[in-house]
C-alpha cells in the first residue's frame, strides 16, 4: 500500500466513526489550544519586551549607580534598623561618581562607551500652538538606542550636532496643539528650564526660568518603557539644560553625576558587573530591571503549559482507547488485508497514521481556534478603555510558524506514541484468527 493510500484510508476510517473521532479530536484540541495560545502570548509578550529593551540600547546597555545610593534606598525602604559602623560607611563611599571613575570604567575590558548623567531639570513644555504648559520628564538618548518611532526619526545623537532636538511621545502631540504626528515633526517647542540657585532668590518661579527651544524630530510609539517618560532629547539639548540648571552654582557642585550609562559587549556583561562592583558601582541591564516581570511571565506560561500537558495526556489515553476499539472492530478487515498480502509494517503504519491524523486534526483545530481567540483578544485589549489602548505596537499574541509548528509536531508525536500499542496489536493479529473471528 502506498503512503498516500494509507493516509487517505486512515482519514476515511476516522470519518466512519464520526462521533468517536470527533470526541477524541476534541480532547486533543483542548490540550493543543491551551498550549498554542499560551505559547503565542509568551512569544508576543517576550517579543515586545525585547523590542523595548532594544529601544533602550539592547542587551549591552548598562545603567550604573553608586552602590551607596542603592544601599541608601534599600535602608529607606527597609523597616529594619541597621547598626552603624565606620567600615561600612568608608566602604560605601560617595553617592555620586567621581570624574576618575569614568576613566576607570572605560578601561574595563568590553566597555565601549560611558555616559555620565548630569542633573538636568525642566519645569514645563509648551508650544506656539497652545496656551497651556505641561509637566514633562525629559530623558537622554545616546548612540545605540533604537527608539520605537511611530513617525519621523530619532534625535541626531552625534557629538558634532549642536542643534537641540527631541523626540516626543504620542500623548504630547495633541496636548501641544498639533493635528497629528506628521504635523508635529519639524516644529519647534519650548522648554522652561530653571536655574536652581537663582530660584531661591526670586519671588516668582518664572523669574528664574529660561526658555529653550528645540525641534521635534519624531514621535515615539507608546510603550511600557515610555509610559511616564515624556520625551527623549539629544546630548546638545540636555547639556544646555544642565548648563542653565547650574547657573550660579559652584562648579564642584554643578558637574556631579549621580548616575551613568554605558554600552558594553553583551557577552562580557557578568565580568563587567563584577569589576564595577569592586568599584562600589551597581550596574543593571534593562533585563535585570524587568527581570521579575519575566520570571512572573515564565512561571505563568509554565503553569498553563502544565495544564495543557495534562489535557494532552488525557487526550493520549483517549487516542489509545479509540484505536483499541477500532482494532477490535476491524479485526476481520485486518485479517483480510493480511491475507491479501499486506505486511505487518503497513498494518502498523495504517493505525499509526490514524493516531497521527487524530493528533494532526486536533492540533490544527487548536491552532485555528487559538488564533481566532488570540487575535480577537488582542483587538479587544487595544480597544478604547482597555489597558493596551496606548500601546499600539504591543501585539499580545504572536502566531508564527516557529511558535505553532513545533507544537503541532509535538502533538502528532504524542498521538503516534499513544497509537503504538493498538497499532502493534493490529500488526500482530494472525490472519487466520482474524478471519475466524465472529
> Interface residues with other proteins (CB under 8 A)?
1-2, 5, 16, 332-333, 335-337, 339-344, 346, 430-432, 435
SS3 138: strand
SS3 424: helix
Q: How many residues are given for the chain?
A: 438
Nearer Cβ to other proteins (249/342): 342
Angle, vertex CA 315, rays to CA 370 and CA 347, nearest 5:
115
Least Cβ distance, residue 10 to other proteins (angstroms): 13
Least Cβ distance, residue 402 to other proteins (angstroms): 36
What is the residue whose three cell numbers read 502544565? 306
Q: Are strands 124-126 and 165-169 parallel, antiparallel or unpaired?
A: unpaired
Nearer Cβ to other proteins (264/349): 349
Least Cβ distance, residue 341 to other proteins (angstroms): 3
Nearer Cβ to other proteins (205/344): 344
Nearer Cβ to other proteins (122/354): 354
How far is residue 91 from each of residues 67, 74, 82, 163, 280, measured CA to CA in Å?
10, 16, 16, 42, 8
Residue 82 is classified by DSSP as P
- Using an 8 Å Cβ cutoff, are 214 and 233 in contact? yes
Nearer Cβ to other proteins (348/399): 348
Which helix (DSSP H) or strand (DSSP E) does residue 375 occupy?
helix 344-382
Q: Are strands 209-220 and 138-140 parallel, antiparallel or unpaired?
A: unpaired
- Tell me the helix, strand and coil percentages in the chain, rounded to 5: 60, 15, 25
Of 67, 35, 44, 115, the closest CA to residue 397 belongs to 44
Nearer Cβ to other proteins (174/343): 343
Nearer Cβ to other proteins (153/430): 430
Least Cβ distance, residue 11 to other proteins (angstroms): 14
- Using an 8 Å Cβ cutoff, are 219 and 150 in contact? yes
Least Cβ distance, residue 327 to other proteins (angstroms): 15
Least Cβ distance, residue 352 to other proteins (angstroms): 17
Least Cβ distance, residue 437 to other proteins (angstroms): 10
How far is residue 176 from each of residues 81, 127, 128, 150, measured CA to CA in Å?
48, 6, 8, 17
Nearer Cβ to other proteins (1/417): 1
Least Cβ distance, residue 419 to other proteins (angstroms): 21
Amino acid at each position: 500500500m502506498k503512503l498516500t493510500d494509507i493516509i487517505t484510508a486512515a482519514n476515511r476510517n476516522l470519518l466512519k466513526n464520526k462521533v468517536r473521532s470527533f470526541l477524541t479530536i476534541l480532547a486533543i484540541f483542548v490540550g493543543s489550544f491551551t498550549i498554542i495560545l499560551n505559547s503565542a502570548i509568551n512569544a508576543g509578550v517576550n517579543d515586545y519586551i525585547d523590542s523595548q529593551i532594544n529601544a533602550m540600547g539592547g542587551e549591552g546597555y548598562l545603567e550604573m549607580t553608586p552602590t551607596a545610593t542603592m544601599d541608601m534606598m534599600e535602608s529607606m525602604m527597609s523597616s529594619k534598623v541597621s547598626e552603624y559602623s565606620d567600615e561600612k560607611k568608608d566602604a560605601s563611599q560617595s553617592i555620586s561618581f567621581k570624574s576618575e571613575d569614568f576613566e576607570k570604567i572605560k578601561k574595563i575590558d568590553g566597555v565601549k562607551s560611558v555616559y555620565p548623567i548630569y542633573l538636568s531639570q525642566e519645569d514645563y513644555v509648551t508650544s506656539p500652538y497652545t496656551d497651556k504648559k505641561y509637566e514633562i520628564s525629559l530623558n537622554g538618548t545616546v548612540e545605540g538606542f533604537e527608539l520605537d518611532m511611530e513617525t519621523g526619526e530619532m534625535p541626531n545623537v552625534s557629538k558634532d550636532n549642536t542643534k537641540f532636538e527631541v523626540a516626543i511621545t504620542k500623548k504630547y502631540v495633541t496636548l501641544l496643539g498639533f493635528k497629528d504626528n506628521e504635523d508635529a515633526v519639524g516644529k519647534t517647542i519650548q522648554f522652561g528650564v530653571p536655574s536652581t540657585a537663582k530660584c531661591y532668590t526670586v519671588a516668582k518661579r518664572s523669574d528664574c526660568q529660561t526658555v529653550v527651544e528645540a525641534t521635534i524630530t519624531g514621535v515615539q510609539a507608546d510603550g511600557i518603557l515610555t509610559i511616564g517618560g515624556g520625551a527623549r532629547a539629544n546630548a546638545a539639548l540636555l547639556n544646555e539644560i544642565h548648563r542653565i540648571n547650574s547657573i550660579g552654582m559652584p562648579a564642584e557642585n554643578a558637574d556631579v553625576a549621580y548616575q551613568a550609562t554605558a554600552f558594553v559587549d553583551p557577552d562580557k556583561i557578568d565580568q563587567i558587573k563584577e569589576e564595577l562592583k569592586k568599584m562600589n558601582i551597581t550596574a543593571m541591564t534593562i533585563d535585570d530591571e524587568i527581570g521579575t516581570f519575566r520570571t512572573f511571565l515564565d512561571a505563568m506560561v509554565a503553569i498553563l503549559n502544565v495544564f495543557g500537558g495534562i489535557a494532552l495526556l488525557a487526550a493520549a489515553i483517549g487516542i489509545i482507547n479509540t484505536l483499541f476499539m477500532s482494532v477490535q472492530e476491524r479485526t476481520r478487515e485486518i485479517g483480510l488485508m493480511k491475507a491479501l498480502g499486506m505486511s505487518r509494517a503497513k498494518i502498523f503504519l495504517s493505525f499509526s497514521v490514524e493516531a497521527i491524523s487524530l493528533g494532526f486534526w486536533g492540533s490544527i483545530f487548536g491552532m485555528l481556534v487559538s488564533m481566532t481567540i488570540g487575535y480577537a483578544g488582542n483587538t479587544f485589549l487595544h480597544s478604547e478603555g482597555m489597558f493596551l489602548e496606548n500601546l499600539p505596537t504591543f501585539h499580545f499574541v504572536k502566531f508564527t510558524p516557529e511558535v505553532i509548528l513545533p507544537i503541532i509536531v509535538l502533538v502528532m508525536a504524542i498521538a503516534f506514541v499513544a497509537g503504538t500499542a493498538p497499532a502493534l496489536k493490529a500488526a500482530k493479529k494472525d490472519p487466520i484468527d482474524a478471519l475466524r473471528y465472529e
